[in-house]
Structure 1
Amino acid sequence: MALSQSVAWPGAPMALASAALFGASTPLAKLLVGHVDPWLLAGLLYLGSGIGLGIVHLGRRFLRIDPPEAPLRRGDLPWLAAVVLAGGVVGPVLLMVGLTRTPASSAALLLNLEGLATMGIAWLAFHENVDRRLLLGALAILAGALLLSWQGGPEGVGWGALAVAGACLAWGIDNNLTRRLSSADPVQIAMTKGLVAGSVNLVLALSRGAALPSVGVTAATAVVGFFGYGLSLVLFVLGLRHLGTARTGAYFSMAPFIGAILALMLFDEPLTWRLMAAAVLMGVGLYLHLVEHHEHKHAHEEMVHEHVHVHDEHHQHDHAPSTSPGEPHSHVHRHAPLVHRHPHYPDLHHRHSHPET
């Protein structure tokens, strides 16, 4: 079956593209760590994403391109604040600290832990269905990450590896909270997160005595932030919308492989047996995630919400006279109860319980 005809379309390509952009940003950030205070670097990366997406947002208005996405509402603000704190402040600071103590290729592969944290929280806290294959894949990824981070001797796992793992936990929390916002405009979400988180990190770094880098380094950091944090987050939110949190996190696990390959080229780091063994384990884990097939009879309860949509099987409803006739479009709409069977992921319309699991 072609990917465009699969239930994973278009969520999987979006999640993989998000992973590619973020994975490439890790070794590029390693290049910048020597020129910028880690905390300040985190702020500049997020500011770059926020300002870049702000230009995109204003450009849409200037060109009168009306996106069909639903805007953020007042009820979304508490969730957005929690997302900014976990993913925009705690996560990037821990990552920058970890990068100063860990080889770039190792740090890139350790970022697989974000997918595990995302899936674990989705499974345990938000009761998203995770089957045996996904669990086995998660264990394979965890084994690879532990092999990579173990330094041997009495010190065991290094502080740098622990800092990267802490960043992954913060982003796992962030990803699960972002799912609550995934029906809204992803550009608006990522722009707000970048501007707020970037400003907070920048102020904190400057208050600690960090010095602003040169214009060239600042510009380079902003570009990395726009693609690796801003555009990556936009694609990730779209992936959440179509795949749910655990599956999107699984696809996002491709990011460290991309980062590790780029790190080997940029820093001429040795290709060690631990790196290769960890890559094999993580590759097996990722494969088990990608080949999942989830299908069963399920019930849709009555629901009222707002998001961009077309009039497919799940969207058969009336429209007010003021509603734009074109598709896709966005407006508040009601879903009538429905019982049927088809392959699906826990997207916006498939967040039901699984008693048998």
Structure 2
Amino acid sequence: MKTGVLLALLSAALFGASTPLAKIVLGSVDPWTMAGLLYLGAGLGLAVVHISRKALRVPAVEAPLRRGDVPWLAAVIVAGGIVGPVFLMFGLARTDAAGASLLLNLEGVATMGIAWVVFREYVDRRLLLGAFAILSGAALLSWQGGASLDWGALLIAAACVSWGIDNNLTRKLSSADPVQIAMIKGLVAGTVNLTLALAQGAALPDTGTILAAGVVGFLGYGVSLALFVLGLRYLGTARTGAYFSLAPFIGALLSLFLLDEPLTVRLVAAGSLMVAGLWLHLTERHEHEHAHEALEHEHRHTHDAHHKHPHLPSDPQGEPHSHWHQHKPLVHRHPHYPDLHHRHGHKHSQ
């Protein structure tokens, strides 16, 4: 579980840093073009990583994407790779980077809400209270007084909902190679967004700006997404989304220094609410006796308590490794999250 937490937090830090950096570059770039460049940077950077692994003959320890994964991958690309970034870039163009960074906490709330309501992932009272604190902080940031909300904030909120849908659908792919998933998503989403932007009359920026956007996209979108997919594998959707809520605080902190934006009372109050919500998520402990049903699947694994299976001569040697394997029914008790092997039902008392 500690591995999953670390992966999710590192993913959050990279994505959080990308928001103020994108804001700096966005000053001279059309928002739609920027969305395309960020994802192309992610896709091309990870393509280099993917090709290098093959060229260097690095042993494959991750399961490849299969034909049955294609519909889920297509939905992920549309929701998270095309719709979400466009909303974010147009929202960034209408609001300050620090406020926008904190508003991105809504992604964690949207992710958890969809996981709980639609996909029936277990969410306890502590997580719900934390989500309420995060949502309250985001609402405080977006409120402009009177009876209206800031359009920039609403667009960023729409991006968060798109990514919430994306995160829940990505869970269906979390057993596969995260670099391959993020690479394909980046290449397709980046190409589509950039093509649409140019078709609408947008102009390409200078070479330096393109390279800067590419680097930000590679780290803040590509590497971050690959780490997020791994987090989903270990923690499940709702909890990975909760840990990912650290991202806006990284972005807001960097915005104060990089963009010389003011530290306002509203920003401090909203940030305090969000910190309280994140603390509630980080201090969760979930343990009870649970049953594992028979299961067959393929993913990276070591031979722990959940992986006591025989091997064929054709199966890879060494650990970790990936191959198709079978889980026999098992009943035991230990701390756990709703990862690949713990997607069971719960009684109200648990």
Q: TM-score, normalised by structure 2?
A: 0.99
2:171 and 2:119 map into 1 onto residues whose CA distance is: 10
- The residue type equivalent to 2:31 in the other structure is P
- Choose the corresponding residue for 2:168, options 159, 162, 176: 176
- Choose the corresponding residue for 2:112, options 97, 119, 136: 119
Partner of 1:104: 97
1:293-332 equivalences under 5 Å are: 293-332=285-324
1:40 and 1:124 map into 2 onto residues whose CA distance is: 34
- The residue type equivalent to 1:103 in the other structure is D
Q: What secondary structure is seen at the aligned counterpart in 2 of 1:10?
A: helix
Q: What secondary structure is seen at the aligned counterpart in 2 of 1:254?
A: helix
The reply on whether 1:135 has 2:128 as its aligned counterpart is: yes
- Choose the corresponding residue for 2:7, options 14, 22, 27: 14
- 1:77-103 deviations in whole A, cap 9, x for unaligned? 000000000000000000000001111
1:331-346 equivalences under 5 Å are: 331-346=323-338
Q: What secondary structure is seen at the aligned counterpart in 2 of 1:134?
A: helix
The reply on whether 1:275 has 2:232 as its aligned counterpart is: no
2:185 and 2:60 map into 1 onto residues whose CA distance is: 19
2:334 and 2:297 map into 1 onto residues whose CA distance is: 22
Q: What secondary structure is seen at the aligned counterpart in 1 of 2:317?
A: coil
- The residue type equivalent to 1:275 in the other structure is L
2:261 and 2:318 map into 1 onto residues whose CA distance is: 53
Range 214-223 or range 60-69, more displaced: 60-69
Range 87-96 or range 26-35, more displaced: 26-35
1:30-109 equivalences under 5 Å are: 30-109=23-102
2:343 and 2:171 map into 1 onto residues whose CA distance is: 11
Q: CA deviation at 1:153?
A: 2.4
1:98 and 1:47 map into 2 onto residues whose CA distance is: 20
Partner of 1:261: 253
- 1:261-291 deviations in whole A, cap 9, x for unaligned? 0011111111110000001000000000000
Q: TM-score, normalised by structure 1?
A: 0.97
Q: CA deviation at 1:66?
A: 2.0
- 1:235-283 deviations in whole A, cap 9, x for unaligned? 0000000000000000000000000000111111111100000010000
1:307 and 1:267 map into 2 onto residues whose CA distance is: 43
- Choose the corresponding residue for 1:157, options 143, 149, 174: 149
- The residue type equivalent to 1:312 in the other structure is D
Identity of aligned residues (%): 70
- Choose the corresponding residue for 2:222, options 230, 242, 250: 230
2:248 and 2:345 map into 1 onto residues whose CA distance is: 32
Q: CA deviation at 1:318?
A: 1.1
Aligned-CA RMSD value: 0.7
Partner of 1:187: 179
The reply on whether 1:245 has 2:237 as its aligned counterpart is: yes
- 1:159-214 deviations in whole A, cap 9, x for unaligned? 10000000000000000000000000000000000000000001100000000000
Q: What secondary structure is seen at the aligned counterpart in 1 of 2:121?
A: coil
- The residue type equivalent to 1:292 in the other structure is E
Count residues with an aligned counterpart: 349
Name stretches of at least 5 consecutive residues in structure 2 with no aligned partner.
none
Partner of 2:192: 200
- The residue type equivalent to 1:237 in the other structure is V
- 1:277-321 deviations in whole A, cap 9, x for unaligned? 001000000000000000011000000000011111100111111
Q: What secondary structure is seen at the aligned counterpart in 2 of 1:323?
A: coil
2:60 and 2:252 map into 1 onto residues whose CA distance is: 36
Q: What secondary structure is seen at the aligned counterpart in 1 of 2:2?
A: coil
Q: CA deviation at 1:139?
A: 0.3
Name stretches of at least 5 consecutive residues in structure 1 with no aligned partner.
1-7
2:348 and 2:248 map into 1 onto residues whose CA distance is: 34
2:183 and 2:261 map into 1 onto residues whose CA distance is: 35
